[in-house]
Amino acid sequence: MDLTEQINQLDADLKELGSLLEKAERKRVQEILRQEQKKIEKEIAVKQQQKDQQARRVADPAPASKAAYTVKITNYAWDQSEKFVKIYLTLKRVHKIPPENVEITFTDRSFSVLVKDLDGKNHQMTVLNLLFPLDTNNSYKKIKTDMVLIMCKKQTTKKWECLTKVEKQSKDKDKPSMDENADPSEGLMSMLKKIYSEGDDEMKRTINKAWTESQEKKMRGDDMMDI
């Protein structure tokens, strides 16, 4: 029996109690009937509240059926113009959700993205420690077909080698040191050692062969290593 039917049955009981109360002459019987009336009225109120809640759930599904979790955005690319650093986020059907569901927050050295309720998920991305500061007041977003374009306005027209400071530090670390006072041959040896340690078997055979030939030439009086 559904809630509507239960409420109808209780209403019928209440009416019958009312009829009995009108006919009752003894005070004790009247009191018992009134108490029973109050119990049924409370039960009807509870059932009606349950019915209203059920109707609201049908009209507005519970949050569990909506975006239930957040995933990180990993599919992106970037480039730059003289005035902007442009971040391209690939998100299928993003152009079909309300624009207000795509939130971008800018600071001088970071930006964060939150795309809400896209295909039943929230999509999030945060980039910290940007290489150079942004003009936050003139940075903005564009929503295109299956893509969000983030326009990060540069404070200066300086060219960005990388997107973040961390990437720049990693890139600089991999560069060979260029000490003007160092022995050039030591720098060459360091570079060869690095190539040898990171190379495959073919690369190692090539370097070994070149090294052997170089040593043979030195023994013959040659000064230069010929690779």
Whether 162 has a pLDDT exceeding 60, the answer reads: yes
- Whether 116 and 101 have beta carbons less than 8 Å apart is answered as yes
Name the nearest CA neighbour of 7 among 61, 60, 55, 62. 55
- pLDDT, tens digit, for every residue of 27-60? 888 899 889 989 989 988 888 888 887 787 666 6
Helix (H, G, I), strand (E, B) or coil at 74: coil
Q: Are strands 70-72 and 121-127 parallel, antiparallel or unpaired?
A: parallel
14, 20, 26, 31: CA torsion to nearest 10: 0
Q: Give the pLDDT band (50/70/90) at residue 179.
A: low
Read off the pTM.
Answer: 0.51
Average pLDDT over residues 81-95: 96
Q: What is the DSSP string of 166-187?
A: HHHHHHHHHSPP--TTS-HHHH
CB atoms within 10 A of CB 123: 23
Average pLDDT over residues 101-116: 95
Q: For residue 127, what pLDDT is reported?
A: 94
Residues of the chain with pLDDT > 70, as a percent, come to 81
Name the nearest CA neighbour of 126 among 72, 204, 168. 72
Sheet holding 140-144, edge to edge: 76-80, 84-90, 147-153, 140-144
The dihedrals phi and psi of 206, each to the nearest 5 degrees, come to: -65, -45
> Is the model more confident about 55 or about 97?
97
In the block, which residue shows the tokens 């927050």?
A: 105
Whether 65 has a pLDDT exceeding 90, the answer reads: no
The dihedrals phi and psi of 141, each to the nearest 5 degrees, come to: -120, 155
Q: Give the pLDDT band (50/70/90) at residue 164.
A: very high
Six-digit token string for 185: 């041959």
Name the nearest CA neighbour of 159 among 183, 182, 131. 131
Residues of the chain with pLDDT > 90, as a percent, come to 42
Q: Give the pLDDT band (50/70/90) at residue 64.
A: very low
> Is the model more confident about 227 or about 145?
145
